[in-house]
Chain A
């Protein structure tokens, strides 16, 4: 009698940046959409910035121009299928959702004209395109001395290491440590962010820091400046310290990444989209022509069948288990069983010795056409790290691809629906 079955216009699999962007934009476009995910995605681990293109292979200053060149040279790259203009449009959409989102005053700054040059937690220099304003003050091109502030309680952030490495790169940097009393031996970045939410605590912290600062230094703090009202916390600290303050992304958990998740979730929900967390998609039902008719997702007690006319696959690549490599050297897409492309052929090199090098195997992804539709399943559109052809950690392009392809996936589905309605 009851079948545990629900119908939607579109079902998105995956709740990382690509899946949430696709889901929110589909819902905004009028589709009845459900985002299904096994768990929380990459947002809570990544820095919360949108890096479009950082290295190609030399450091990129003007990402718009560099993406154009990349597209010309690498027609298999996801950006080549999306185009510079659509990337720019997707970034504007995201920046606007941040402004309209649940964090008052919080905003992202930057665009395709110019990358920011931000310090990482270990004092490396990272080109990043669209960044929280709370990080933008750390742009190392603006010159002047920098003071990196750490605390022994946050054991994953070493201000002295960060400052020493920045100094080696020619930046006038030093570090100071502030004693913070915590009740527990191990305090992570989120725990500290919750303390910064508290105005009294923040005031005490600032008065401890003021005497340690010198001259015209800018102040770099780990990205823990508030979980509920980061704009308020950050601007309050700038006032109290009477100088520019900026956040530096930490090791996981990533507080700015969690803020981005909240922004995207709110955009999805406000547009009427559903979000189902904890439900792993186990398999797809395919029609004779290859289209996916429904997916079976795990739920308590029994599986649920989600039927939709279109699907977006945003399950990520090897790192998140969206794609896997068997001991038989066969690569598979794990959720829907789609065809993959980009795998090194017989006799070709699969891996190279240097760990962070451009590994040939890493280019594997779901085989797609020019509109990001999965090969053999024309009603499935692929977004994010499940796409083949990119090496995000070399290029610094992960979130750029996620935001742009999530947007493109939504527009492909919406125009397919419109064409269907017209026919």
Chain B
């Protein structure tokens, strides 16, 4: 089946449910700060009626959609607005070509490998003004966009040297590229928390989930990358009822739903299995707690933090399990942020032409964080954390950091 036909059958059908109520428009972080994006309803259900398979694109502003997915989440009629828009963006990229930049920044594995070997040099260069100005001129990566630091070591090296105690309760750990190359300590914390709760943690050899490629409209490459990952993970859960768990909420969402829906991979058996078994770490721990199986030997953590649930975490459609977990930690005072988006949307806010928009989107969240009086910000997505630190000068960590501390594991 051709891609256009898939599109027609699986997602386009939902646009007939649109009653033009404007609820998506009220929640879209991008259209509320820039006239360059007229809003999800306009470029989604409305423009889609003029998009004909095989005919040229009729509308280009959809490239300014950041792909946060909030429109789909809030739609009371079940219209797959963000997914329709992602496909329209892919069509534009197929017609007009892909900038070199989008081929580079969407490859965290290449960047990560290179950066790990050259970490001291790479980290200094990424903070050198002339280098960044050059990067903006040549590659169109904005000079002020947040650049994470390469850790100089890889999580998988640490994991390979370690064997989880045999407990018969297996969890397959899907560490994302952020953990592998930039924040390997986050992965160590995930493993230690899972082991503390009786899981035998398996860390298979694995690679990127393809989300950056998908969100930049490079669907063919994204398909190859995500199917390779599914193939690497599936054998570890195929013969028993064990689960896959990840701490990068946007990457677990890619495995659960986005790759299948947006890339049209509903029929791949490996991906289907992986999708059904994948848990976000906080989702898993909350379910364990619900079953009375989460250890609650928490020591007090006397801090006041802000919590921001990233858009992609909200795309799991499971509420905010991190908040339920925080409530178990004595002494921890948490202020829930209600501003919707930090603006970065993976690689969106790195792009020179979109950086200012991303910062304007994030302003509402940054202001709320500053007004909260919190000293740190918990957030489930690494690129959002980097953006939050960039926008507020505050430290931002994954929610599991507080659980790890409360368990006295580090």
User: Residues of A with Cβ closer than 8 Å to B?
Assistant: 1-7, 34, 37-41, 44-45, 102, 182-184, 186, 188, 190-191, 194, 252-253, 258, 262, 265, 269, 272, 274-280, 298-302, 304, 320-321
Query: Contact string, B277-304, partner A, CB cutoff 8 A, digits 1/0?
Result: 0110000101100110000000000000
Q: Is B330 an interface residue (CB 8 A)?
A: no
B-chain residues with CB within 8 Å of residue A37 when the two chains form the complex? 76
B-chain residues with CB within 8 Å of residue A3 when the two chains form the complex? 287
Closest chain B residue to A251 by CB distance?
Answer: B22
Query: How many B residues have CB within 8 A of the partner chain?
Result: 44
A-chain residues with CB within 8 Å of residue B25 when the two chains form the complex? 188, 190, 253
Q: Is B257 an interface residue (CB 8 A)?
A: yes
User: Residues of B with Cβ closer than 8 Å to A?
Assistant: 21-23, 25-27, 32, 35, 38, 72-78, 169, 241-243, 253, 255-257, 275-276, 278-279, 284, 286-287, 290-291, 314-320, 324, 327, 336, 338
Q: Is the CB of B76 within 8 A of A320?
A: yes
Q: In whole Å, how far is B187's beta carbon from the nearest beta carbon of chain A?
A: 21
Chain A to chain B contacts (Cβ below 8 Å), 17 pairs? A1-B242, A2-B284, A6-B286, A38-B76, A39-B78, A40-B27, A182-B35, A188-B22, A252-B23, A253-B22, A253-B25, A299-B317, A300-B316, A301-B275, A304-B318, A320-B76, A321-B76
B-chain residues with CB within 8 Å of residue A276 when the two chains form the complex? 317-319
Max count, chain A CB within 10 A of own CB: residue among B35, B38, B275: B35
Q: In whole Å, how far is B380's beta carbon from the nearest beta carbon of chain A?
A: 14
Contact status of A2 and B276, CB under 8 A, knowing A183-B35, A190-B32, A299-B317 = no
Q: Is the CB of A39 within 8 A of B26?
A: no
Q: Is the CB of B76 within 8 A of A301?
A: no
Within 8 Å by CB of B78, from A38, A190, A262, lies A38
Within 8 Å by CB of A279, from B23, B317, B324, B327, lies B317
Q: Is the CB of B290 within 8 A of A5?
A: yes
Within 8 Å by CB of B336, from A2, A41, A269, lies A269
Q: In whole Å, how far is A252's beta carbon from the nearest beta carbon of chain B?
A: 5
In the bound complex, CA of A147 to CA of B320 (Å): 46
Closest chain B residue to A42 by CB distance?
Answer: B76
Q: Is the CB of A184 within 8 A of B27?
A: no
In the bound complex, CA of A321 to CA of B17 (Å): 11
Q: Is the CB of A302 within 8 A of B26?
A: no
A-chain residues with CB within 8 Å of residue B316 when the two chains form the complex? 299-301
Contact status of A277 and B256, CB under 8 A, knowing A34-B319, A184-B38, A301-B278 = no
Within 8 Å by CB of A301, from B21, B75, B257, lies B257
Q: What are the nearest 4 A-B pairs in CB distance?
A: A301-B256, A39-B76, A278-B73, A184-B35
In the bound complex, CA of A10 to CA of B406 (Å): 30
Within 8 Å by CB of B32, from A5, A34, A191, lies A191
Closest chain A residue to B278 by CB distance?
Answer: A301
Q: Is the CB of B287 within 8 A of A4?
A: yes
Q: In whole Å, how far is B98's beta carbon from the nearest beta carbon of chain A?
A: 27
B-chain residues with CB within 8 Å of residue A269 when the two chains form the complex? 336
Closest chain A residue to B37 by CB distance?
Answer: A184
Contact status of A253 and B26, CB under 8 A, knowing A39-B75, A300-B253 = yes
B-chain residues with CB within 8 Å of residue A279 when the two chains form the complex? 317-318
Q: A186-B38, A190-B25, A320-B76 are in contact. List 5 more A-B contacts (CB 8 A).
A: A1-B243, A37-B76, A41-B76, A252-B23, A272-B327
In the bound complex, CA of A298 to CA of B261 (Å): 14
Q: In whole Å, how far is A83's beta carbon from the nearest beta carbon of chain B?
A: 31
A-chain residues with CB within 8 Å of residue B78 when the two chains form the complex? 38-39, 280
B-chain residues with CB within 8 Å of residue A182 when the two chains form the complex? 35
Q: Is the CB of B23 within 8 A of A40?
A: yes
Within 8 Å by CB of A302, from B74, B276, B319, B320, lies B276
Within 8 Å by CB of A7, from B77, B290, B327, lies B290
Contact status of A277 and B317, CB under 8 A, knowing A6-B287, A41-B76 = yes
Contact status of A300 and B73, CB under 8 A, knowing A40-B27, A276-B317 = no
In the bound complex, CA of A186 to CA of B38 (Å): 8
Q: Is the CB of B32 within 8 A of A39?
A: no
Q: In whole Å, how far is B288's beta carbon from the nearest beta carbon of chain A?
A: 8
Closest chain A residue to B272 by CB distance?
Answer: A301
B-chain residues with CB within 8 Å of residue A272 when the two chains form the complex? 327
Closest chain A residue to B254 by CB distance?
Answer: A300
In the bound complex, CA of A184 to CA of B32 (Å): 11
Q: Is the CB of B26 within 8 A of A6?
A: no
